[in-house]
């Protein structure tokens, strides 16, 4: 449980940064556009962090 939470925090931070940067590069500068990009980063991080945690636990 703790492992998946830590991985989710790391992955979501990276994906939110990527989405935020991509939104700024595409000239989306309103607060709503940037919040949508951040939310998309968080939502994309859920299945990715789940799969990373699953693979790490299978290494034991």
User: What does the domain layout of the chain look like in residue ranges?
Assistant: 2-54
pTM for this entry? 0.88
pLDDT tens for the chain, 60 residues: list them: 899 999 999 999 999 999 999 999 999 999 999 999 999 999 999 999 999 999 999 997
Q: Which of 55, 31, 33 is nearest to 11 (CA)?
A: 55
Instruction: Give the alpha-carbon dihedral of 41, 47, 53, 59, to 10 degrees.
Output: -130
């Amino acid at each position: 449980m703790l492992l998946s939470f830590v991985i989710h925090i790391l992955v979501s931070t990276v994906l939110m940064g990527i989405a935020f940067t991509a939104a700024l590069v595409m000239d989306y500068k309103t607060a709503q556009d940037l919040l949508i990009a951040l939310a998309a980063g968080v939502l994309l991080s859920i299945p990715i962090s789940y799969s990373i945690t699953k693979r790490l636990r299978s290494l034991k």
